[in-house]
Amino acid sequence: MITPELIASHQLSQEEYARIVSLLDREPTYTELGIFSVMWSEHCSYKSSRLHLKKLPTRSELVVQGPGENAGIIDIGGGYAIAFKIESHNHPSFIEPFQGAATGVGGILRDIFTMGARPIAVMDSLRFGPLDDPQVGPRNRRILAGVVAGIAHYGNCFGVPTVGGECIFEPAYNGNPLVNVFALGVFKKNEIFYARASGVGNPVIYVGAKTGRDGIHGASMASAEFSEESSQKRPNVQVGDPFMEKLLLEACLEAMQTGAIVGIQDMGAAGLTCSTCEMGSRGGTGIEIDLKLVPQRETGMTPYEIMLSESQERMLLVVEKGREEEVVRVYKKWGLDAVIIGVVTGDGMLRVKDHGGTVAEIPNRALADEAPLYDRPHTTPRRDAPMEAPEFRSQNLAADLAALVSSPDLCSKRWIWEQYDHMVRTNTIQVPGGDAAIVRVKETGSSVAMALDGNGRYAHLSPREGAWLAVAECCRNLSVVGALPVAATNCLNFGNPERPEIMAQLVEAIEGMGEACRHFETPITGGNVSLYNETLGDPVFPTPVLGIVGLMKTGAPVTIDFKQPDQIVILLGGLGGCDETRFGGTEYAKVVLHRLWGLPPALDMDYEKRVQAAMREIVDRGLAASAHDLSDGGLAVALAEASFGPAGIGAELSFQSELRPEFLLFHEGPSRVLISTEWPGEVCRIAAEHGVEALRAGFTVAGKIAILNHWETLIDCEVQPLRESWAGALEAGLRG
């Protein structure tokens, strides 16, 4: 019997339960209660965010498919398209880092190839608590090592290159690490598959791994806060098998070639439940399945368990009636189960049978489209940082720079990305460590650039401006390598939306993202919202992560490092401005001053867009020997990073600025790119044409970094020791 306790343990409110009863016109069965609970969970239904997500731009000439399908699709020309999306696997990765991250990769890969696209790139945006945290440092180190190993395990075996990402540390992520995985695939524009069940009488086929008891209620787990008992949720985490996924990929792509597949959807969160009712709902049809036909790897599973299992590496197909054999034969060739478990019906119902009896009978639309929609109250965004800046004066600017480049956020992440096969498929033109990753598309002769960005510190100080800055930086990273940003996917990582001050963060971030994406002409084609990232009432920093893709011609990449001495260094976009308030979110404030205050850097979107247009033209004309955007750590850190290339070339820069030294060197004002060139006149001419500043800042020199202001030396140091501490810091931090 359905008791109030049972309803509560399914994380359904009394109002939601009443709605279920009215939709069914009767009490639900236990199995039906389970089905509603996962489909109406925050994770599957977006019930707190949907209202606001509508504010995002989703269309452009290039958008073939916007939000609502498994992934967004963009036309890249030449008859080809790309599918891409970012998704979180935060909660599982905290409970079981290796499998949590691994299945995060698996889930997003299935979202891509269920549409018919072959995955050609993965990136990861990671947030952890500090590795040297006095209380939970050892746990944070274990989580980082486990997450990286899990991503490597899955992606390397599957055979998709992991080409980039970001990794940031903050105490706000101590109890809730963030693992956001982005994947991108390529396919012919006329060979796209959708997750729609159409054609009454068509068979429904289950393919892939057998169903077990793993991951039951994973979606609901991802929709609740953590408490001290969270380790008991380990059985809710699924176990990944990348080899099985590889077989599934090849078999699905081959089966699609038969032309017999009508619709296809992966079984991700909420497994068989979600795939059946969503496909039915999208197709305006019903689906009837018989659970005794579902391949199972455990005995005695109940209908409830089978419907809610999140066992990995499974897909649901709707196939043209009479052509089942053609499809089944392909899966058999790859050694996979392919079993007819049901049929498409005309009555719009999800009907689940088990050994003759009916265990669930629910309108598909009630599950997929009539989930509650909440306009949750929102006040002003939660913030626990002062607006006032503290008094500070640098004792030693060179020592500050050394501290910054060897800090966890800014140090080399080679230890991470060398564990990822980032070259498989021989398409990776820009390997990890650059401003953006670049992957060529052999079929079209063109390339796709991609970047992930999101700054929780900025968003904590101002969710709206933080979102603007994330979009701007992501687009800038693409423009620096010469790619035109065309479309975006987003992953919104926030705390508990039932708290008005958290909901306010979410609303402002979404609105800000919408404003910036409109301005930079990068519609959002899909993504993911991860709420309830809280442990014992401590929320994460609001962390909107953007994944933006850009298009470019294939060619040798412009990399961030200086190539040879005596080239002119230009600061495209100029020195920018800063004041005390706008300095509070910088890495300098974090690493050197251990503080957070004020507001994030100020962004002028029009100016930013012009800088980016100029930058793309400079790259396109082959004028840049190197280019690196200024972001975390500002000018001095960008200069240091540009000096850490194999040639060991640094630069001497000289300015006439009224900014105080800390601001000049370390402020994080956007819209700036450090370029080295043989053709400074041309570069400056292009900048002028776009109405942006281009400062001739100095010239490259072997082995040394220097910055002067009004002829006074602010920093003058050797590249080599700085490079060594930058290169080895993460590994040193992991040793504890």
Partner 1 sequence: MKFGVVVFPGSNCDHDAWYAVSAILGQPAELLWHDSASVGDCDAVILPGGFAYGDYLRCGAIAKFSPVMGAVKEFARQGGLVLGICNGFQILVESGLLPGALIRNRGLKFICRPVRLRTETTACPFTSAAAEGQVLTMPIAHGEGCYYADDRTLDRLEAEDRVVFRYLDNPNGSLRDIAGIVNEGRNVLGMMPHPERASEPLMGSSDGLLVLQSMAAALVI
Which of 121, 151, 114, 161 minimizes the C-alpha distance to 313? 114
Q: Which of 43, 52, 91, 667 is catalytic?
A: 43
* 511-111-204 Cα angle (round to 5): 125
Phi, psi of 493 (to 5 degrees): -105, 110
187 vs 417 by CB, closer to partner 1: 417
Binding site for partner 1 (CB under 8 A): 149, 152, 156-159, 241-244, 246-247, 250, 334-335, 417-426, 428-429, 440, 442, 554-556
Phi, psi of 437 (to 5 degrees): -85, 145
Collapse the DSSP code of 724 into the 3-class scheme (helix H, G, I; strand E, B; otherwise coil) and give the result: helix
Q: Which of 89, 378, 519, 690 is catalytic?
A: 89
- Label residue 356 exposed, middle or buried (CB < 10 Å: 0-12, 13-18, 19+): exposed
Is the Cβ–Cβ distance between 35 and 10 less than 8 Å?
no
439 vs 683 by CB, closer to partner 1: 439
Between the two ends of the chain, the Cα-to-Cα distance in Å is: 52
Is the Cβ–Cβ distance between 166 and 547 less than 8 Å?
no
Q: What share of the chain is helix, strand, coil (3-state, %, to 5)?
A: 35, 25, 35
Q: Report how far residue 723's alpha carbon sits from residue 19's, in angstroms, rounded to the nearest whole number.
A: 61
Q: What is the CA radius of gyration of the chain?
A: 26
Phi, psi of 407 (to 5 degrees): -80, 155
334 vs 663 by CB, closer to partner 1: 334
198 vs 419 by CB, closer to partner 1: 419
148 vs 195 by CB, closer to partner 1: 148
378 vs 440 by CB, closer to partner 1: 440
160 vs 589 by CB, closer to partner 1: 160
User: Rounded to whole angstroms, what are the CA distances from 429 to 252, 449, 623?
Assistant: 28, 9, 19
Residue 529's contacts (CB-CB under 8 Å, 6 or more residues apart) are: 42, 46, 48, 49, 53, 491, 492, 494
Q: Cβ of residue 429: shortest distance to partner 1, in angstroms? A: 6
Q: Cβ of residue 426: shortest distance to partner 1, in angstroms? A: 5
Structure-block tokens of residue 472: 């701007």
Active site residue 594: no
Q: Cβ of residue 299: shortest distance to partner 1, in angstroms? A: 23
Is the Cβ–Cβ distance between 663 and 400 less than 8 Å?
no
User: Rounded to whole angstroms, what are the CA distances from 150 to 239, 436, 568?
Assistant: 11, 23, 43
Q: Cβ of residue 424: shortest distance to partner 1, in angstroms? A: 6
151 vs 224 by CB, closer to partner 1: 151
Q: Cβ of residue 455: shortest distance to partner 1, in angstroms? A: 28
- Alpha helices per DSSP H over 237-373: 242-256, 271-283, 303-308, 324-333, 364-368
Q: Report how far residue 608's alpha carbon sits from residue 646's, in angstroms, rounded to the nearest whole number.
A: 30
Collapse the DSSP code of 363 into the 3-class scheme (helix H, G, I; strand E, B; otherwise coil) and give the result: strand
Q: Cβ of residue 646: shortest distance to partner 1, in angstroms? A: 11
Q: Cβ of residue 440: shortest distance to partner 1, in angstroms? A: 7
Residue 221's contacts (CB-CB under 8 Å, 6 or more residues apart) are: 91, 92, 233, 236
Q: Cβ of residue 614: shortest distance to partner 1, in angstroms? A: 26
Q: Cβ of residue 178: shortest distance to partner 1, in angstroms? A: 23
Active site residue 10: no
419 vs 444 by CB, closer to partner 1: 419
Which of 180, 183, 112, 223 minimizes the C-alpha distance to 544? 180
Q: Report how far residue 122's alpha carbon sits from residue 558's, in angstroms, rounded to the nearest whole number.
A: 21
Query: So which residues are the catalytic ones?
Result: 43, 89
